[in-house]
């Protein structure tokens, strides 16, 4: 079979999937310019793959660690070893990695509630936190928030160039400041994602003011994107979800917190009960997916990064504002694209949904999703419900009408999703090639 025949066969498959030759040719021309970026992502994936394998070697992972526990889950060596592996991968003293942590917001709430006490103050130095944390903190009134427990909140916004406001941070820190929160990724904002290196610099700055302050980093969407993690630079807690990057698309549920022994001990007592902590929590037969997902994660993240930079290049060349832009460094897997109208966001999401392996026939619609202050549209035909490492896109239906694209368990699926999103926009007359 010649290369020309193979390319014709591939083109025929795209046409079967509803992609016109004009859209496909436009996309393929853009891909020719991305070879060097793809090599960069492959190098980082190789490093992170070796890092994960080394941690598994050091902890002597065996198939005995995939065994199930039930009930109390006492003496679950698989669970205990997995947490040691995570601590090694993230270079921390300890880790809490559990299926009982339901999502990223739950993991963050757990880290906050377990290490703050009435009278303490939480200070966010990366601006407004992700929407679902507003009710956890009490920015929007909600039953059981930190505010109800007498924990106050302060905020320092990032500077216009996306960097930390050191003067503002220094002014706001006071005797009540117990914890500083940093959100690495942009959430539903069109700001730059924070690099682990800039986060490391600001951690040193904060510790120079008061080394007793706990620094917690929301690492969602950022794991294995770079050579280093925020935990490499002194974060007391680094927090994330297993149905995002570190689960590799195989973990069916779960979250993690890695950090100092004291912070993790507090988190474990909050997750279970005082006096019980990490000693209980049955693994219920899903440990193999946790181990294997972590093993696969660097490669999966690499594919998602290729998809993100492809989307940035495609839509910036079409005249849309994208964050990050097509040449900027990547510090998470999320690509924001501003369409300026709800129709653009909706058609983009329709394209992503139609490219999914699951529920491709479903049409996504905006709805009043719990935890958000506006209608939100979500496209995610995923094997694991809500898995953001799988091909997905979402966005609030409010100005500037930006969509947030992420994921793809393989590069080829991410590629199809992006091409299909463009096809939908062309068909709707929103984009003209």
pLDDT in tens, 166-219: 999 999 999 999 999 999 998 878 789 999 999 999 999 999 999 999 999 999
Residue at a domain's end among 251, 266, 285: 285
What average pLDDT does the segment 60-76 reach? 97
Does residue 122 register a pLDDT over 50? yes
CA distances from 412 to 405, 407, 408, 415 (A): 15, 11, 8, 5
Domain-embedded: residue 314: yes
φ/ψ of 177, rounded to 5, equals -65, 110
Q: Which token pair is 260? A: 């100092």
pLDDT band at 6 (very low <50, low <70, confident <90, very high): low
Domain-embedded: residue 58: no
Do residue 260 and residue 333 come from a single domain? no
Number of domains into which the chain is organized: 2
- Structural domain of 339: 3-47+295-427
Residue at a domain's end among 285, 305, 328: 285
Do residue 133 and residue 235 come from a single domain? yes
CATH number of the domain to which 23 belongs: 3.90.1150.60
Domain-embedded: residue 312: yes
Domain-embedded: residue 59: no
CA distances from 13 to 24, 90, 234 (A): 11, 41, 49
Domain-embedded: residue 55: no
Do residue 416 and residue 302 come from a single domain? yes
Domain-embedded: residue 433: no
Do residue 29 and residue 101 come from a single domain? no
Q: Dump pLDDT digits (tens) for 253-299.
A: 999 999 999 999 999 999 999 999 999 999 999 999 999 999 999 99
What average pLDDT does the segment 246-256 reach? 98
Q: Dump pLDDT digits (tens) for 82-113.
A: 999 999 999 999 999 999 999 999 999 999 99
Do residue 196 and residue 322 come from a single domain? no
pLDDT for the residue numbered 189: 82
Q: Which residues contact 322 (CB under 8 A, 6 or more apart)?
A: 311, 312, 315, 316, 335, 336, 337, 338
């Amino acid at each position: 079979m010649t290369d020309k025949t193979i390319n014709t066969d591939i083109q025929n498959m795209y046409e079967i999937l509803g992609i016109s030759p004009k859209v496909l040719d436009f996309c393929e021309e853009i891909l020719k310019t991305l070879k060097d970026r793809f090599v960069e992502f492959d190098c980082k994936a190789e490093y992170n793959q070796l890092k994960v394998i080394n941690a598994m070697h050091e902890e002597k992972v065996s198939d005995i660690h995939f065994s199930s526990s039930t009930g109390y889950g006492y003496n679950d060596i698989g669970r205990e070893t997995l947490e040691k592996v995570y601590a090694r991968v993230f270079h921390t003293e300890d880790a809490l990695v559990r299926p009982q942590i339901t999502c990223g917001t739950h993991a963050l709430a757990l880290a906050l509630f377990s290490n703050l006490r009435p009278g303490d103050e939480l200070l966010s130095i990366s601006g407004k936190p992700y929407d679902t944390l507003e009710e956890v903190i009490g920015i929007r009134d909600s039953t059981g928030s930190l505010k109800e427990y007498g924990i106050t909140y302060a905020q320092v916004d990032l500077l216009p160039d996306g960097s930390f406001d050191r003067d503002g941070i220094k002014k706001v820190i006071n005797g009540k400041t117990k914890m500083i929160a940093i959100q690495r990724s942009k959430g539903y904002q069109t700001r730059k994602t924070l690099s682990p290196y800039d986060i490391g610099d600001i951690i040193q700055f904060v510790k120079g003011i008061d080394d007793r302050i706990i620094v917690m980093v929301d690492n969602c969407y950022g794991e294995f994107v770079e050579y280093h993690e925020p935990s490499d630079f002194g974060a007391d807690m680094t927090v994330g979800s297993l149905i995002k990057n570190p689960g590799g698309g195989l973990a069916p549920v779960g979250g993690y917190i890695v950090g100092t022994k004291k912070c993790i001990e507090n988190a474990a007592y909050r997750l279970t009960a005082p006096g019980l902590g990490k000693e209980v929590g049955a693994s219920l037969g899903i440990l193999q997916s946790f181990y294997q997902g972590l093993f696969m994660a660097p490669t999966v993240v690499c594919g998602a990064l290729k998809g993100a930079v492809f989307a940035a290049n495609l839509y910036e060349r079409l005249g849309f504002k994208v964050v990050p832009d097509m040449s900027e460094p990547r510090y998470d897997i999320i690509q924001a694209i501003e369409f300026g109208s709800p129709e653009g966001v909706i058609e983009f999401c329709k394209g992503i949904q139609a490219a999914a392996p699951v529920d491709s026939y479903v049409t996504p619609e905006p709805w009043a999703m719990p935890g958000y202050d506006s209608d939100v549209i979500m496209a995610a035909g995923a094997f694991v419900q809500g898995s953001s490492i799988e091909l997905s896109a979402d966005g609030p239906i409010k100005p500037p009408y930006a969509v947030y694209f992420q994921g793809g368990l393989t590069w080829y699926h991410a590629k199809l999703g992006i091409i299909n999103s463009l096809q939908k926009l062309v068909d709707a007359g929103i984009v003209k090639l």
